[in-house]
Amino acid sequence: MNIIVAGCGKVGTSITKALVKEGHNVTVIDTQQKRVDELINQFDVQGVYGNAADSDVLEEAGVSKTDLFVAVAASDELNMLACLFARRKGARHTIARIRNTDYNDDSLSFIKQELHLSVSINPDYEAAQQLFNILKLPSAVQIETFSSKNIEMVELKLKADSPLDGMTLIDMRKKFKVPFLVCTVIRGEEVFIPDGNFALRGLDKIGLVASPADIQRMLKNFDLLQKQARNIMILGGSRSAYYLAKKLSFIGNTVKIIDKSESRCRDIATLLPSISAVCGDGTDQELLFEEGIRSMDAFITLTGTDEQNILLSVFASSINVPKVITKVNGDELGRIAVKLGLDCIISPKKAVTDIVTRYVRALHNTEGNNIETLYHIADDKAEALEFKAGADFPAKNVPLKELRLKKNTLIAGIVRGRKTIIPNGDDCIMPDDRVIVISAGHSFKDLSNILK
């Protein structure tokens, strides 16, 4: 596919990297020549220097022959205008990053309709939703929810002395009578898509698929269940912080936001009168103690600086705050954070990249067996995908034990209507089922791709 990415910041770079990896022809646009040159040198892409809402720039980028135009520049207005012009000049599909809270209420559907946007993405809201899900289940490092809401995948870090140490997955299924499936295991730098004979070890990070209610039961069995976070401190009054605080205050949680900007604190206090907005330097440990960090159930760093987020998260962990969550957008800094013992890391740019990747793959197949959800999981070394099985799926009504799946591929869940199925060998895929597939080393676009 021919794809243009307008905006070469962290998000644009992440999207470009993912699309090039999947074999697409990518052209990047940015007003900063240095950013364009860096991407040209780093990836096999074309580059155009200039304003993405400029007609001449769009024509130079080949917009008339573009299958997808993605606008992720810093300005919402530029993104929307660039998508409008790109569509009128021949781009078949358009995606815009729209972050301003003013554009993400009732006006958003109107904007999408009038601009003929295929998708609008708000990375700050996506990050807030991810944080909200984790705070409801603090035992988890990550939570991925699929479209039916009847099945989830959680990533968990086993304790060094875990009762699961040395236990095979077959023995786990026999011991714990709850329907579940361990679908990924990270051990050191390796990622496994395990079979029933795989034995777990302490400190493994495992990906587990089950219904939300059964996940709670499993965590209790694993001695990993933590109480929901009620008292939460957020460092940084970002848009993500606003969205998250709004969700948390709605369900009665106590939220405190610390930010250096007096005007930002005033805005938050006006918009969310039920939360506490404190103006101060969050790097000041004395201030954190005064504001009660020791009594918090969770501490979340959402400043605009990855290094600051990591350092303050390490500090919060050192004083035993039960749940610490760190926003890190840089890939290398994310790996450093993990080595420093920070397991729960969120990345808004990753959420945007997953949405764009899913949409691009969906364009390859607009009928039947289509991809509906995609997450990069297990430290980006595997994927969790949700497909809707069409009537033309070649292996429908065939027992799973008789299917010949590609290597490192696992059918982890089936949702049939309102029924959640954690499959065994005797289960079948039927038309209209939603099928959860876990894979490593593949880029599936269609459910039939999982078959040899």
CA separation (Å) from 260 to 280, 287, 293, 301, 388?
A: 5, 12, 17, 13, 47
- What residues contact 175, with CB distance under 8 A and at least 6 apart? 167
Q: Are residues 107 and 166 in the same domain?
A: no
Domain contains 359: no
Q: Are residues 183 and 264 in the same domain?
A: no
Q: What is the pLDDT of residues 383-404, one digit of tens each?
A: 999 999 988 899 999 999 999 9
Q: What pLDDT score was predicted for residue 100?
A: 85
Q: What is the pLDDT of residues 433-444, one digit of tens each?
A: 999 999 999 989
Q: Is the dihedral of CA 300, 303, 304, 310 positive or negative?
A: negative
What's the pTM value of the predicted model, to 2 decimals? 0.89
Sorting pLDDT into bands at 50, 70 and 90, what band is 217? confident
The single residue listed with the structure tokens 């959800």 is 373
Contact assessment for residue 120 and residue 98, using Cβ atoms and an 8 Å cutoff:
yes
Q: What is the pLDDT of residues 268-314, one digit of tens each?
A: 999 999 999 999 999 999 999 999 999 999 999 999 999 999 999 99
**Residue % of the chain over a pLDDT of 90:** 78
Q: What is the pLDDT of residues 223-260, one digit of tens each?
A: 788 888 999 999 999 999 999 999 999 999 999 999 99
**What string of DSSP letters covers 331-356?**
HHHHHHHHHTT---EE-HHHHHHHHH
Mean model confidence pLDDT for the chain: 92
Q: Are residues 217 and 239 in the same domain?
A: no
Domain contains 226: no
Domain contains 357: no
Q: What is the pLDDT of residues 16-61, one digit of tens each?
A: 999 999 999 999 999 999 999 999 999 999 999 999 999 999 999 9
Q: Are residues 274 and 171 in the same domain?
A: no
361 closest CA partner among 93, 130, 154: 93
Q: What pLDDT score was predicted for residue 140?
A: 92
Domain count, the chain: 4
**Please, what's the b/e burial string for 345-355 (b: 16 or more CB within 10 A of its CB; e: otherwise)?**
bbbbbbbbbbb
Q: What is the pLDDT of residues 331-348, one digit of tens each?
A: 889 989 989 999 899 999
Q: Are residues 324 and 398 in the same domain?
A: no
Domain of residue 313 covers: 231-346
The token duo for 348 is 């808004």
Q: What pLDDT score was predicted for residue 189?
A: 85
Where a domain ends, among 319, 346, 373? Answer: 346
CATH of the domain at 216: 3.30.70.1450
Where a domain ends, among 299, 315, 346? Answer: 346
Whether the pLDDT of residue 104 is over 80: the answer is no
Domain contains 355: no
Q: What pLDDT score was predicted for residue 365?
A: 60
Where a domain ends, among 221, 249, 275? Answer: 221
d(CA 51, CA 31): 6
Q: Is the dihedral of CA 199, 205, 209, 210 positive or negative?
A: positive
96 closest CA partner among 113, 82, 110, 114: 82
Q: Within a 10 A sphere around the Cβ of 18, how many other Cβ atoms?
A: 21
Q: Are residues 320 and 342 in the same domain?
A: yes
Q: Are residues 8 and 112 in the same domain?
A: yes
Whether the pLDDT of residue 369 is over 60: the answer is no
